[in-house]
Structure 1
Amino acid sequence: MLRQYELVDRVLGYDPKADEALINRAYVYAMKQHGSQMRASGDPYFSHPIEVAGILTELKLDTATIVTALLHDTMEDTGSTMDELTKLFGSQVAGLVDGVTKLTRLELTSERSKQAENFRKFLLAMSNDIRVLLVKLADRLHNMRTLHFIDSADKRQRIAQETMEIYAPLAGRMGIQEIREELEDLAFKELNPEAREALLRRLNEFREESGDTVRQIAAEIEAKLKEEGLAAEVIGREKRPYSMWRKMERRGISLEQLSDIFGFRVVVDEVPDCYRAIGILHTSWPMVPGRFKDYISTPKNNGYRSVHTTMIGPQKKRAEVQVRTRKMHEIAEYGIAAHWLYKEGPVDTEASGEFAATFSWLRQLIEMLEHGGTPEEFMEHTKLQMFSDQVFCFTPNGMLITLPRGATPIDFAYAVHTEIGDTCVGCKINGRHMPLRTRLENGDEVEIIRSQVQRPSPAWEAYVATGKARSAIRRSIRAAKQAEFSRLGRQILKSAFEAAGKDASDTILERALGPLRKSDVAELLASVGDGTVSAEQVLHTVYPEEPLAKRGRKRVGANGKDQRNGAVRVTGRGAGLGIQFAPDTFPLPGERIVGIMMPGEGVTVYPIDAPTLETFDGEPSRWIDVTWDIDPEVPQTFPARLRVTARNEVGSLGHIATLIADYGSNISNLTLAQRDADFYDLQIDLDVRDIKHLTRIMSALNGLSCVNTVARPRH
């Protein structure tokens, strides 16, 4: 445990202007407050805040943060109050301690849903002052160092998993690599001890085989640079077990195939020296193709800058080399703490800009948080943001957009602006029209094609890689569904109230809000539209004397034109987010259809002869009158499916496809269901205007000499 004078000396060593008296006062106060409290390890509890403060001195943080570390458990575990801390240590320190205390209280549960909600609060709290997160990371690091003292294996596993999923990535996004790597390795030790032990044995064998190889290679690289007149410091180190394990998993290689288990950092004075050093290294030793990365011209989101290369270096050993300036090295080691804006002194505009860029990812997460969605969704999006490699793409005017590997033009559009993402209909990549599902590569120039009538498609979720894009898509779909359900609910209520000869105005509907526990008419309409509240319930609530109406097949008209004006209208191929066609049924305009209310999903439309409808005969309240509402002036098509048995002879398929095209239809899918020597069965999905159009195509197909039978499958 650090002694009082040792802690103060550490702080004064990097900040001579530090408030020594404040640190001493906090040290004595915390020791007194924690008194005889003990940790699971058997050490005095006060050793924990001292060690947390010691970790933060390695990041060279300001006095207020060090004092916060000393006091961070006093409000949670002792009788200290906010007012008392404000009086003794000032409002800034008291506010920081309060922020850390709130985060600590959030960790007292293991249920996933609560953990997700807590994580939202976690980010909100730390967004007010990033030092709260830095203290919390140091707190978690010391707790992980002493994790083995906890008796419960389940609790150790939970803490380790939480560290791996949340705290280590957060440290990485803050650019604090040393803390990130140690957190990962400590969590790895608990989560997969056998794999870690195997890797440690491999490292020990390597040390025995190679002796002082790392130091020798570092010295040889440094000598080569000096020989060319470039002063540099070369640092060699072994990789941590978890870093090795992650690389093995990513590349699908075995432990024996892992050759680059140590890396080197070349630290120079100026940026041009970085590229000069790379030139010297590449002309002295062969580089490994595809392993050069320039994070100086295109920095990572956390502010990290270096040039990376891998070469077959001295002693024929494969070596990863990172070349950076001293300032870049400081940022790589300490991350956001290296540009600390809370330090006294003149404002460094460049450092402030770097700090703002590093901090931008947190602002994006807070923006997602403020736009709603479930806690589980937010946690999923956040992990997508934090666990990602990067690609660098450009807008047509040269603006750099950084995205995770695997990102698509939709991610790109949302990264530029949410409105651009919402109205995206297509894209050009390097001047060529490409599908929106295309994965972007480093250096791609992406132009987004927009339409103000476009809205995000639910299918987009399957091929986006960023949390921001997925969050925005889900938010837009939720809003569209709400509007669609409200529109559908109004139609359903209008039909039910008209059948009873009653008024369905908003003023009348407001009478049902209290009994049905709805906040406004819009919410009531949406509940009717999505099927969670029936129209009969609303009618009976507003007019208690009115008996509950019964719906069923008898209320469905003979055809679309015969149905009542109050029926729900199906206006197009997609029907809408609140109205969907039943899978594999393919109803067409001109055919009789019926709707079945699916609670929480809206109305599902079936052909009147669909066998599945028999399962709903005992639930008449779920049957909904629906009718086609097709504008003949607006051409549109609907999917249909045919089963064709044709002769197995040359040209048969060509004749069938040509005839379908001649009748103005397009084949969307074709499957060879069965084939024998004489005949084969085809399943053809095609687009038609209505039942008359399909009937003409079927008649024409029957007239082909190569076609034996044509039929619509009955589902």
Structure 2
Amino acid sequence: MIRQFELVEKVKAYNPNVDEELLNRAYVFSMKAHGSQIRESGDPYFSHPLEVAGILSDMKMDLATIITGLLHDTIEDTIATRDEIKTLFGEEIATLVDGVTKLTKIELQSDKTKQAENFRKLVLAMSNDIRVLLVKLADRLHNMRTLHFVKLEEKRRRIARETIEIYAPLSARLGIHHFKEELEDLAFKILNPDARESILARLRFLEKEGDQNLIQSIIQELSEVLEKNSLKAEISGRVKTPYSIWLKMQKKNVTFEQLADIMAFRVVVPELSDTYQALGIIHSAYSVIPGRFKDYISTPKPNGYQSIHTTVIGPKKQKIEIQIRTKQMHEIAEYGVAAHWQYKEGRTPEVQEYQWLRSLLEILEHASGPEEFLEHTKLEMFQDQVFCFTPAGDLIALPKGATSIDFAYAIHSEIGNHCVGAKINGRMVPLRTILNNGDQVEIITSKTQTPSPTWERFVITGKASANIRRFIRTQQRSQYINLGKSILTKAFQHEHLTYSEKDIEKVLNKFQSESMEDLFALIGEGRYTSYEIIRTVHPDYNLKYPPKSRDSITKVPEGTKDVLDTFISIRGLIPGMAVHFARCCHPLPGDKIVGIIVTGRGVTIHTYDCENLKNYAEEPERWIDVAWDTKEEQQQEMHTGRLSLVLFNQPGSLAAITTTISKNHGNIVNLKFTHRSENFVDIMIDIEVKNSEHLSIIMAALRACPLVSSVDRAKS
């Protein structure tokens, strides 16, 4: 395990101005946070974040990334919080650690979903700063190095499969070649140990049968060839990894012996012009294998990789692949986007963020084949998406700005139609809550719940909107039919006429209706009045009109069958569909009420003394007699009443009234300051109550409060 002073020295080697005190503080914080935690290997858990920081220092990352490596598991696995890390180490590091924590939570869900492509998009969409990905890759690399300590075979295979399908390709797309190769080989060792051992055995056999110093001999000869032509170069060589050999055998459907380029050699030269000079020298000295030449310098790979590749029959008559590049190209080839990270004191966050975002856009701009990560996909294509999980681990992709209701409908229409609440990451939230990447969302449903017309104001997915509209259309028609039939039958009864659907059916064509239900719906919607129907059915009858003013409205007797025989009950009519409660007077159960038919909207309920009723004084056909349903279950519903208060402008006034309302079982749903002076404050409050009596009790309690000057029901 790397020690504290060794880590500091590694970072100082490439960044002499590093803040040693901050790095040491992070080291101590992480060690104390993980305490006595033990890994499956038996090592102290702290050895893992320390090794991750060591891997990042090998990549010459900036101090914030190194510290993130030390702290990356503290929020997930210890009692440390983001706020604590922010206080001790600053916002930048807290954001990076939080980003890695979120990726880890998603990673734990990934085995439950087969939607690997969405998972990959999620990983990138969540990583506004590429350093989050680099820490996550370093974390995965060390975990893979110690994977053999995991006891459960299925768990080892799952992690290895996830690594080879997601993290190795991700490393390749970020251009971190040595990460890719090591991750692939470690995963290959778990997933197909027999094939790997077979290839290793053949490589050992070739080494034993041939020149044991073959690679060094080839390096020596290549160096001599280049030196004769006055070109200095650093040359290295290696045998390709077992996984890359096996992959080539599978793709080309050839045997091990038929592979042409098991060995690869790298020629690193000082200047760009030297690369093409080296190519000319090598091609002059050795026979070229046709079709095996690629110039990635003039046409770089999407991840910024530059090099010239050629395959020749080289020294010792061996078929070898030679890669020619400059030192800068070599650093980019080894460390990918990490090589672009140049630590500079005083660099502004704006420049830093732009640099990394630009790098990521460049990396993802092109894809050359279906096996490549995010084929033909650019970051912009999913920047406007969020990816969330169900409790079962299924991944749901939604547009940015989507709410819990959008999520519910994305799972199934019925779940959306019956959702009553949502939990995001285990906490109850309003249904209008906007979702973030990585959220785990649990939808709570009830068989009695139906979509609310208000939902359409904040959902953004087409599926949610379509389902809500469909339900509203269906329910509205049903509500309009019931309301229209009730209005028409009561009108006939009020006029002392016999209600006969047969007589009405004879005049349906005059009202552009094909059925009685169509006519009822049009009446309920306010397109026709009941009296227009009566006039048409009984043209010679002298109609009695409803009251022309509120003064003539009689007091509605309490809860008897006679009431509902005479008045139209609003029971079972969903507010916002066929029936609307007027916002000018906020009628409550217990108030004397009257209904006004509004064309296209159904019936609006007003209190009998509402000032706005004078607007309909000359339209008696719009007035209908309505009554509250007095059944017990209906009385349990909450309704909104509005109060107008004048308070003394003193500290504690607002607290006093809210406490009083709460103690009397009222629920404040809206509060507005309408006027303020030196001594008084005018407030409008909307309160959920059971009925007018309940509101009166609250008003009495408020009047008893010494900080309240006056209380009245709002009438405007």
Band the TM-score falls in, shorter-chain normalisation:
0.5 to 0.7
Residue 36 (structure 2) aligns with: 36
Alignment partner of 1:386 out of 364, 372, 391:
372
For 1:224-373, list aligned pairs within 5 A: 224-344=225-345, 358-361=359-362
Matched residues in 1 for 2:166 and 2:344: separation?
28
Aligned-pair Cα RMSD in Å: 3.9
Distance in 2 (CA, whole Å) between partners of 1:352 and 1:269 is 31
The answer as to whether partners of 2:218 and 2:315 remain within 8 angstroms in 1 is yes
Cα offset, 1:147, TM superposition: 0.8
- Contact kept in structure 1, 2:96 and 2:131, CA below 8 Å: yes
Partner residue of 2:618?
A: none
Secondary structure of 2:312's partner?
strand
In 1: Cα distance, 2:289 partner to 2:187 partner: 32
Cα distance 1:71–1:515, how it changes in 2: closer, same or farther (>3 A)?
A: closer
Equivalent position SS for 2:456: coil
Paired position in structure 2 for 1:646: none
Q: CA deviation at 1:283?
A: 0.7
- 1:123: how far off? 2.0
C-alpha change, 1:49 and 1:258, in structure 2 (3 Å) is: same
The AA in structure 2 aligned to 1:176 is I
Looking at structure 2, the residues matched to 261 and 154 of structure 1 have their Cα atoms a distance apart, in angstroms, of 32
For the residues of structure 1 that align with 2:299 and 2:5, how far apart are their CA atoms? 43
- For 2:190, the equivalent position in structure 1 comes to 190
Cα gap change, 1:50 to 1:308, in 2 (>3 Å): same
Deviations 1:610-647 (CA, angstroms, capped at 9, x unpaired): xxxxxxxxxxxxxxxxxxxxxxxxxxxxxxxxxxxxxx
User: Take 2:358 and 2:83, find their aligned partners in 1: how far apart are those partners?
Assistant: 35
How much does 1:108 deviate? 2.0
Cα 1:416/1:74, change in 2 over 3 Å:
closer
Gaps of 5+ in 1: 366-380, 389-403, 405-410, 419-470, 473-511, 548-565, 567-715
**TM-score for the superposition, normalised by structure 2:** 0.53
Say if 1:345 and 1:415 are closer, same or farther in 2 by CA, change over 3 A: closer
**Which residue is equivalent to 2:20?**
20
* Matched residue type, 1:255: F
State the alpha-carbon separation in 1 of the partners of residues 332 and 464 from structure 2. 54
Following the alignment from structure 2 to structure 1, what is the Cα–Cα distance between the partners of residues 117 and 379? 27
Map of 2:456 onto structure 1: 519
Counterpart AA for 1:126: S
Alignment map for 1:511-550 (pairs within 5 Å): 514=451, 519=456, 539-540=477-478, 543-544=481-482
- The alpha carbon displacement at 1:416 in A equals 14
1-structure distance, mates of 2:201, 2:139: 30
Aligned length: 417
Q: What are the superposed Cα offsets for residues 146-192 of structure 1, whole Å, 9 maximum, x if unpaired? A: 11111112211111111111111111111110011101111111111
Shift in Å, 1:518: 7.5
Paired position in structure 1 for 2:639: none
Cα distance in 2 for partners of 1:213, 1:100 equals 44
Equivalent-residue separation in structure 2 for 1:270 and 1:200 (angstroms)? 37
SS of residue matched to 2:324: strand
| SS state at 1:95 partner | helix
Corresponding letter in the other structure for 1:543: I
* Distance in 1 separating the partners of 2:247 and 2:9: 38
Q: Is the 8 A contact 2:294 2:309 kept in 1?
A: yes
Distance 1:222 1:174, change over 3 A: same
Please tell me whether the aligned partners of residues 455 and 468 of structure 2 are also in contact (alpha carbons under 8 angstroms): no
Residue deviations 1:79-137, cap 9 Å, x none? 1122221222222222211111111122222211687665444323212x111111110
Give the distance between the partners of 1:165 and 1:323, measured in 2 at CA. Answer: 29
Relative to structure 1, the CA distance from residue 329 to residue 416 in structure 2 (aligned partners, 3 Å threshold; closer, same or farther) is closer
Could you tell me how far 1:233 is from its partner in structure 2? 0.9
Alignment of 1:75-474 (within 5 A): 75-109=75-109, 110-112=111-113, 119-127=120-128, 129-210=129-210, 211-344=212-345, 358-361=359-362, 384=370, 386-387=372-373
Match of 2:631 in 1: none
Q: How far is the alpha carbon of 1:77 from its aligned partner?
A: 1.3
Change (3 A) 1:266 1:382: closer
Distance 1:254 1:105, change over 3 A: same
Flag the 1:382–1:270 CA change in 2: closer, same or farther, 3 A. closer
Does structure 1 conserve the Cα–Cα contact (< 8 Å) formed by 2:453 and 2:472? no
- Change in Cα spacing, 1:300 to 1:116, as seen in structure 2 (3 Å) is closer
Q: Residue deviations 1:639-660, cap 9 Å, x none?
A: xxxxxxxxxxxxxxxxxxxxxx
Distance 2:451 2:55 in 1: 56
Contact 1:301 1:358 in 2 (8 A): no
Q: 1:346 to 1:201 in 2, by over 3 A?
A: same
Deviation of the 1:535 alpha carbon = 9.1
Partner SS, residue 263 of structure 1 = strand
Tell me the distance in 2 between the aligned counterparts of 1:353 and 1:80: 30
Query: TM-score, normalised on structure 1?
Result: 0.53
- Distance change in 2, residues 1:518/1:69 (3 Å): closer
